[in-house]
Structure 1
Amino acid sequence: MAKRSRDDVLKIYDRLIAGTTGFERKGKTTPYTSINGNMCSFVDPDGQLCLRFSDKDLAAFQERFAAPPVLQYGRVMKGYAAVPEALLNDEPALVGWFERMVANARALKPKPTKRKRVN
């Protein structure tokens, strides 16, 4: 089966986000989600959906789907896995993995804001 277009992947991504309470898509060039300042998913410019998992879930995901590490700007993104085409074609299963990603993101320690306060 041919690789989905970036627009098709973004439609799937939007459906996943819409089904999750308290989640919204951010970013224009590289759409992403974050919770408490921690980015937890994104769609790269090539249309690859990437999810951030706990160590346990990442190992299970990589074993199940033989998912390679996610590389951005020449560096491995710790905790992230690229969603394979087969899983994009099985949205009910994808929803389960997306929910695991959300649970992990909500368990991460909040990052302090970097915005300067205006007095």
Structure 2
Amino acid sequence: MTWEAALNIYDAIVEACNGFERKGKTMIYTSSNGYMFTLLNKAAEIGVRLPKDKATKFMETYDTGHYYSYGAKMKDYVLVPESLWSDKNLMVSYFEQSFAYVNTLPPK
């Protein structure tokens, strides 16, 4: 998938969510409470930040792994398989869970 196509999907998911908006021009992300919680990297991959227990369950359920951006493993992030991207309700649910999670962390 091209980066532009992934950006369109990412933007559509964010637009369907409540309480936050997409940020960045070249590094695409969402943030709240001083923390980024979703990312779209240069490789056209979407990452979502989840609490450790939910991240582990996500990786087991969807047979995926940790998320990397610019070669660095992103703490608490999971790689969202492209096969899930077309399920907008599911994606919105994970984006909103991620938003709720970072808002439980101490503000930066």
TM-score, scaled to structure 1: 0.81
Is it true that 1:44 corresponds to 2:41 in the alignment? Answer: yes
How many residue pairs get matched?
A: 108
Give the alignment of 1:21-40 within 5 angstroms: 21-40=18-37
Normalized per residue, the structure richer in strand is 2
> SS of the counterpart of 2:103?
helix
CA 1:21 to 1:89, structure 2 compared with 1: closer, same or farther past 3 Å? closer
- 5+ residue gaps, structure 2, are none
Q: Secondary structure at the match of 1:107?
A: coil
Point out where structure 1 has 5 or more consecutive residues left out of the alignment.
112-119
1:9 lines up with 2:1 in the alignment: no
**Cα distance per residue 1:8-28 (max 9 Å; x no partner):** 221121122222233121111
CA-atom RMSD in angstroms? 1.5
Q: Deviations 1:29-52 (Å, cap 9, x if unpaired)?
A: 111110011011110011101110
The higher radius of gyration belongs to 1
Distance 2:15 2:69 in 1: 26
Report % sequence identity: 35
| Correspondence 1:56 to 2:53 | yes
1:39-78 Cα shifts (integer Å, max 9, x gaps): 1111001110111011121011101112121223443211
Moved more, 52-61 or 95-104: 95-104
* Structure 1 match to 2:68: 71
The change in CA–CA distance for 1:91 and 1:20 in structure 2 (over 3 A counts) is closer
Is contact 2:41–2:70 with CA below 8 Å preserved after alignment?
A: no
